[in-house]
């Protein structure tokens, strides 16, 4: 049996009942995808993921990626190659390729709903297939010859990498030392070493296009001196795409990791054996801004991957809890002759399952709500509505670190402390996929910036630099809902209270940030709490989306039919989440308001 069970009923509930996405379907720019088409695509993706893609999940982990150090080539298990081929042969790559190059224009909400299933069943397939999304970047930002390169990437199914990190620089991208020197023919020679490069090579690609940040000769320090170059593994004819000689970019090592072993995480050397020839993207030195087009996609992907894995873990834990018989009912536990029961009847197991259910369903809604904002951006641009475009872009920018940082942190934690725990000792064995989920999911808290970096970005860039506009728009929408009254009144009052406490947290941190202009050490007080702020915002958005679902469920129950228990579950998970997690935000406010810099003032030796 497949390890993966897609929760398609909940995905469709979020898309259509919660977010009303049918209203954007069937008309420009999404004229090719109406509601029926979208449902058909989702159903077919579910079938593909539960069968062809999930089939190589275990072997991909056990065998992993293998590097030939002599050639710099990576080989992957045959079963994984077969799964990847099923994805490509099914033409799902069209979801990410530029429309001008054969791609299909679908609403981002539908695209990310399908991505959840791929990422939940076999995440490395989605990661290796990101070359099509990279081609979109090259096509939009590139020169005319580079647009041709993008076409080759799509037509010939080439892979792609994003190369930022260097051994000495780490997350401090601006400290990178990879160097680019312009040549008389307009190309560039790049030298340096990159580390932790995802999908650095694979044996189902004929070629790989590396998107590499490097400092041009004469480029200044920091991120402003970085440029973005396209560096192919094999040189190719710029007119036909026919492959030529090997370029000087080589995988020199694979990281020995705790999980996601079939995804080749590589050390890459540029220019050591022969020149690594590259092309300056767009013929402009705007590397970090260009790379952020890729980073934003990657952060959305990582958050979706994490949440998809939590959903998969919950589905496995639920199945196990309904089948595993152990112990008597707690109310008659002193009666040794009482019947043994399924562990789902035990209170703490039941609590654990509801934690997993509420977070996985609430954070799925978070991903698809964010994707729906991306729908609205495209619609606003098409309509020429500049103000709405700016508002939606600011809201999307605000939500991305929440999807990535909050989504990955909560998913990893809950997979290890709740999903695995449901299995008891069996969860620690390879008899069940949960131990692989835990190992594979940890990287999500580290990919594309650690949780701490997401918290810093969220507060300083998405709140302070934005002047509070996006968080204000979101807060107004949540407040308006919380004040509607009607169903779930007590829970809405708790949401309103938590929102007030969140505003207090943000106000305190903003005040400290302002004070730091005259008292620099005050900035430490902010830095000690930015991750806490990020998590609090994530919990409030999750609670808001769950309560919206509960309101819808209450309306649907009289005519629910076979969906009655589905809707009852929606109401139960919303109430559980609100009463168990929103009170923590009041405590978080007290902690933030009481924070001082004492931890910064003790000596390093005291740790």
Q: Which positions are annotated as active-site residues?
A: 448
Distance of alpha carbon 451 from alpha carbon 408, whole angstroms: 8
Distance of alpha carbon 476 from alpha carbon 384, whole angstroms: 25
Q: Are strands 208-216 and 179-182 parallel, antiparallel or unpaired?
A: parallel
Alpha carbon 194 to its chain centroid, in Å, reads: 22
Structure tokens at 168: 């000495």
Residue 66 backbone phi and psi in degrees, to 5 = -125, 130
Burial annotation 1-12 (CB, 10 A radius, 16+ → b, else e): eebbbbbbebbb
The residue count for the chain: 607
Distance of alpha carbon 434 from alpha carbon 423, whole angstroms: 9
Distance in angstroms between the alpha carbons of the first and the last residue of the chain:
49
Distance of alpha carbon 276 from alpha carbon 110, whole angstroms: 39
Residue 200 has a CB neighbour count (10 Å cut-off) of: 30
Q: Which residues contact 560 (CB under 8 A, 6 or more apart)?
A: 566, 567
Sequential DSSP letters for 428-486:
GSTTSTHHHHHHHHHGGGTTTS-HHHHHHIIIIIIIITTTTHHHHHHHHHHHHHHT--S
Distances (CA, A) of 43 to 9, 48, 170: 10, 9, 41
Burial annotation 487-503 (CB, 10 A radius, 16+ → b, else e): ebeebbebbbebbebbe
Structure tokens at 306: 């994490």
Asked whether the CA dihedral 141, 144, 149, 154 is positive or negative, the reply is positive
């Amino acid at each position: 049996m497949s390890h993966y069970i897609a929760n398609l009923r909940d995905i469709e509930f979020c898309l259509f009942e919660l977010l009303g996405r049918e209203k954007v379907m069937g008309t420009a720019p999404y004229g090719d995808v109406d509601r029926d088409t979208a449902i058909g695509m989702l159903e077919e993706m579910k079938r593909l993921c539960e069968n062809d893609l999930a089939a190589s999940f275990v072997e991909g982990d056990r065998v992993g990626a293998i590097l030939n150090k002599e050639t710099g080539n990576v080989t992957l298990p045959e079963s994984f190659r077969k799964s990847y081929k099923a994805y490509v042969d099914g033409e799902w790559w069209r979801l990410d390729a530029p429309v001008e190059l054969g791609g299909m224009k679908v609403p981002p909400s539908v695209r990310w709903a399908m991505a959840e299933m791929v990422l939940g069943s076999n995440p490395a397939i989605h990661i290796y297939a990101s070359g099509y999304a990279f081609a979109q970047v090259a096509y939009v930002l590139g020169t005319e010859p580079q647009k041709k390169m993008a076409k080759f990437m799509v037509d010939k199914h080439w892979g792609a990498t994003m190369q930022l990190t260097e051994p000495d620089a780490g997350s401090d991208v601006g400290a990178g030392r990879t160097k680019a020197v312009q040549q008389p023919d307009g190309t560039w020679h790049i030298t340096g070493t990159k580390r932790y490069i995802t999908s650095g090579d694979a044996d189902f690609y004929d070629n790989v296009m590396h998107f590499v940040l490097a400092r041009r000769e004469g480029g200044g320090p920091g991120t402003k001196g970085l440029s973005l170059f396209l560096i192919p593994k094999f040189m190719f004819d710029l007119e036909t795409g026919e492959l030529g000689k090997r370029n000087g970019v080589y995988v020199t090592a694979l990281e020995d990791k705790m999980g996601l072993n079939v995804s080749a995480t590589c050390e890459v050397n540029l220019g050591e054996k022969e020149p690594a020839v590259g092309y300056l993207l767009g013929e402009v030195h705007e590397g970090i801004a260009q790379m952020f087009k890729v980073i934003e996609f990657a952060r959305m992907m990582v958050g979706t991957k994490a949440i998809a894995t939590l959903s998969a873990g919950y589905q496995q834990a639920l199945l196990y809890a309904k089948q595993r018989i152990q112990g008597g009912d707690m109310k008659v536990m002193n009666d040794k002759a009482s019947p043994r029961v399924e562990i789902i009847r035990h209170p703490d197991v039941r609590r654990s399952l509801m934690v997993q259910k509420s977070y996985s369903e609430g954070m799925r809604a978070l991903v698809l709500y964010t994707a729906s904002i991306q729908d609205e951006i495209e619609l606003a641009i098409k309509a020429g509505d500049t103000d709405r475009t700016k508002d939606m872009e600011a809201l999307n920018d605000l939500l991305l670190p929440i999807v990535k940082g909050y989504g990955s942190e909560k998913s990893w934690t809950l997979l290890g402390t709740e999903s695995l725990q449901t299995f008891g000792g069996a969860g620690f064995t390879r008899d069940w996929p949960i131990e692989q989920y835990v190992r594979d999911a940890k990287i999500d808290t580290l990919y594309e910036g650690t949780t701490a970096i997401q918290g810093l970005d969220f507060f300083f860039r998405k709140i302070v630099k934005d002047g509070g506009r996006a968080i204000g728009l979101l807060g107004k929408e949540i407040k308006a809902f919380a004040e509607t009254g009607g169903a779930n009144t007590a829970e809405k009052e708790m949401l309103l209270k938590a929102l007030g406490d969140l505003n207090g947290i943000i106000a305190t941190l903003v005040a400290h940030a302002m004070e730091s202009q005259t008292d620099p050490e005050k900035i430490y007080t902010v830095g000690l709490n930015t991750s806490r702020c990020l998590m609090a915002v994530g919990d409030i958005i999750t609670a808001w989306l769950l309560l919206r679902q509960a309101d819808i469920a209450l309306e649907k129950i009289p005519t629910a039919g076979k969906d009655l228990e589905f809707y009852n579950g929606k109401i139960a998970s919303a109430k559980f989440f609100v009463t168990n997690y929103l009170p923590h935000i009041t405590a978080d406010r007290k902690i933030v308001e009481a924070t001082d810099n004492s931890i910064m003032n003790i000596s390093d030796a005291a740790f």
